[in-house]
Chains A and B, each alone.
Chain A
């Protein structure tokens, strides 16, 4: 500190700059995160157009709004507003405070000559000045505040300036240090007002500092840490996760899963205090009534009913009864209870996600299926074992029963219902007491917008290889189309679409194009789930997994698809029937042989749109695969050249015509033995194959 002195910002001309820098550093990112449009699936997808208003639509909308308010990030908003206000204030301060810029000594200015003046001009000007400004010549003038001293000072300045411009040495000094006398001392300023460190305020500043470091910092870190510890990866409370795991059982059916979900701690936050068992007796009376026509009786198994009635904890009993009331769409005749009924379902769905991950950790196919079916039931507000037709607007249990014409104990899926010839279908449901003509039309318009994934082909392959060798990285490729139920004039499948052509190893361009396609693609979203009773927006997700049917275990854990690479509907709202490619990668088994898996494709939002299909993975011995490759190299040289491959690529890879080696390319034969969309709980729908579909729809 010896040579330099720290100056404090007495006039307050610098600290606004300091504060403005700090505030913008924080405010701009916060504002960006506040204003950035949400990338979540739920906020970017379209909706299924429907004029159907369920009963208590106002309550459900109220719940949706409540959730929106919760997501509004009020704190962030206030913070950024505060930040911008501070910035504005600082800018105002900067504009208002007079700036005391230290005057830069300029000899030209002092002499009053132009910068382009030559030495001769300067000399003559100096002489002229000496006639007026020299202390001997100039006169004191108290009126103009000109004293002897000021005259002297001015003259010294003028002389200095003259020397700076004419004397060699002084000129060098001026050029180097900006001053004719040579190097000047410099000072460092601190952009803080002086009062911060003066005796009176110093204590408080120190106190503030101690508070920030000793209290605020540990508090924030602690809150963050314990906040993280409180929630699991699935964003549910750790206590709930523990309870779910304790109550997990491989063999509980769909209704058992609902019972387990009611153990979540999250419900206690909704049903706080007196709400915990308010109206429980009324609720139980409505929901668990012993009438034989009560929908609860059909859905709730005897065992689970017994469990519900034996529960000691009244708040849990209320939650579970509310859940059943929601799933059975029971009117509770009480606005508060109805509100709670719609509030518990989204929480249960969140818990169900955690339950699903537990089922996956156990790897039991049946339990995983139960968990997925529970998600479907919760989103559609339908009890387990209900008719899938009740997902449609205005379809009450009575209408669904009439639609099924009471054929058997199993239910018709929406797709099967739509395969019934139009006239017959309409005759079943449009009648007094069931549906009116307009209601039927509105239901049919919703049906025509439902995204039902129809698997056209599924096969295994290894990129760049002809065979699947042990322990290689296998791709399971699924070619599928979105076909709305009851669609007519479905275009035939383009054979080329079913191929999945690898880019050649040397073909950089094709590889690049492929990569680009993967990066830019997969942004097309199907519309949000049509779930009028579910008090949240939900984007449908498709889970695909492979199961080992002999052991009842999951062989390849689910891959979840939410976005697709090709448009599903065109501008006019018509389905495009584009072939979608879904891929999942996993390691092949280490031993050669043929492995049969059951592929399950489950949409988590709609009931009765699951696909179950047998696929066979043929793994060849590595040595054999090599041999075969060599043989082929000798016999068909022209097809292995890049040019030959390019030709097949260009021609669209129509098998047989352009490439002899094409069929050999995919060694993993896939047998579409059973393609049953619809209720997979019983495998007796497989008699209706795709050919039947076409003939049926042609009748319309």
Chain B
């Protein structure tokens, strides 16, 4: 046929082969790259450790023989809600800081992806808890998180109080020791004074008063004031 006779097929195939190789290699690369990225994202570490309370609740819920009483299930659900409160507080606090750090380039993109996934997860989790609560009692879903957050706060307070109280014995021991030290040194000085002649004592006591004064003041006002401060300090730190 007329037009095709003139075509030199061999030379024509070269540009096509070139195009084929170029486009083919690019698409293969893009494909592989996307797959690898997706696999990487799928293997990202979860933000939170396994949700123990949720697992306990679900196990109890699905236990058939013997059936778990409702009161225990409700308690387990409340515990689960409390843990959710902890997590959501953490997420909310971290969000703004993480955005700032991401913009500045102080953290990687991975972390942001993990964070977003955790955010979605916690949303689903909250919805699930609300649904479960409504199944137990109508409208409990609207108040369950309120009670849960109160529980969380209460637990937090207790923890702090016990922490502060735990420092008590050590502080007490220290101050007792200090008191005995001071009183013994004081007694020693008194003994010295007694043993020396009276005439000498009057001249000698003048420089001593300065140093004694110090000790007496510490003993009188020190323990209460400083103990209070020490507690303040602990409070400040935790």
Partners in one complex: yes
In the assembled complex, A682 has its CB within 8 A of some CB on chain B: yes
Cβ B174 vs Cβ A242 within 8 A: no
Given A242, A253, A357, A684, which contacts B108 in the complex, CB threshold below 8 Å?
A242
Name the residue on B nearest A254 (C-beta): B237
Indicate whether A75 reaches chain B with its CB closer than 8 angstroms.
no
Interface residues on chain A, size class = 20 to 34
A358 touches B97 (CB 8 A): yes
- For residue A635, CB closer than 8 A to chain B, the reply is no
A476 at the interface (CB under 8 A from B): no
Interface string of A342-362 (1 = CB under 8 A from B): 000000000000100110011
- Do A233 and B104 touch (CB < 8 A)? yes
Q: Does B132 contact A (CB under 8 A)?
A: no
Determine if A358 and B238 form an interchain contact, defined as CB atoms under 8 angstroms apart.
Answer: no
Q: Would you call B101 and A357 a contact (CB within 8 A)?
A: yes
- Whether A251 contacts B238 by the Cβ 8 Å rule is yes
B106→A357 contact, CB < 8 A: yes
A358 contacts B237, CB within 8 Å? no
> Number of A-B pairs whose CB atoms are under 8 Å?
69
Please give the distance in Å from A297's CB to the nearest CB on chain B. Answer: 11
Binds A, one of B65-73, B133-141, B144-152, B228-236: B228-236
The distance in angstroms between the C-alpha atoms of A251 and B218, with both chains bound, is 32
Interface membership of B110, Cβ < 8 A: yes
Q: Is the CB of A238 within 8 A of B107?
A: yes
Name which of A234, A239, A246 has the most chain B CB atoms within 10 A of its CB: A246
Chain B interface category by residue count: 20 to 34
For B221, list chain A residues within 8 Å (CB).
none
Q: Could you tell me the distance between the alpha carbons of A242 and B101 in the complex, rounded to whole angstroms?
A: 11
B107 pairs with A366, CB closer than 8 A: no
Residue on A nearest B227 in the bound complex, by CB: A409
CB pair B174 A409 closer than 8 Å: yes
Given contacts A408-B226, A409-B174, A684-B229, contact A234 B238 (CB under 8 A): no
Is B61's CB within 8 Å of the partner chain A?
no
Contact status B229-A682, CB under 8 Å: yes
Q: How far is the CA of A684 from the CA of B114 in the complex (A)?
A: 45
CA distance A239 to B96 in the complex (A): 20
B98 within 8 A of A: yes
- Interface pair A241/B229, CB less than 8 Å apart: no
Known interface pairs A251-B238, A682-B229, A684-B229; A232-B93 also in contact (CB < 8 Å): no
Give the chain B neighbours of A363 by CB distance below 8 A.
97
**A436 located at the interface, meaning its Cβ lies under 8 Å from any Cβ of chain B in the complex:** no
* CB-contacts of A483-506 with B (<8 A): none
The A189-235 residues at the B interface (CB cut-off 8 A) are 229, 232-234
User: Smallest Cβ distance from A460 to chain B, in angstroms?
Assistant: 26
Tell me which residues across on chain A come within 8 A of B57, comparing CB atoms.
Answer: none
Which residue of the partner chain, among A251, A358, A366, A681, contacts B101 with CB atoms under 8 Å? A358
In Å, the complex CA distance between A21 and B145 comes to 75
Provide the bound-state CA to CA distance between A245 and B237, in Å: 20
Could you list 23 A-B pairs, sorted by A, with CB under 8 Å?
Answer: A232-B105, A233-B104, A238-B107, A238-B108, A241-B107, A241-B108, A242-B110, A242-B111, A245-B94, A245-B101, A246-B111, A357-B101, A357-B104, A358-B97, A358-B106, A361-B101, A361-B104, A362-B93, A407-B218, A409-B226, A682-B229, A682-B233, A684-B229
The list of the 7 closest CB pairs from A to B, nearest first, reads A238-B108, A361-B97, A233-B105, A242-B111, A361-B100, A362-B97, A241-B107
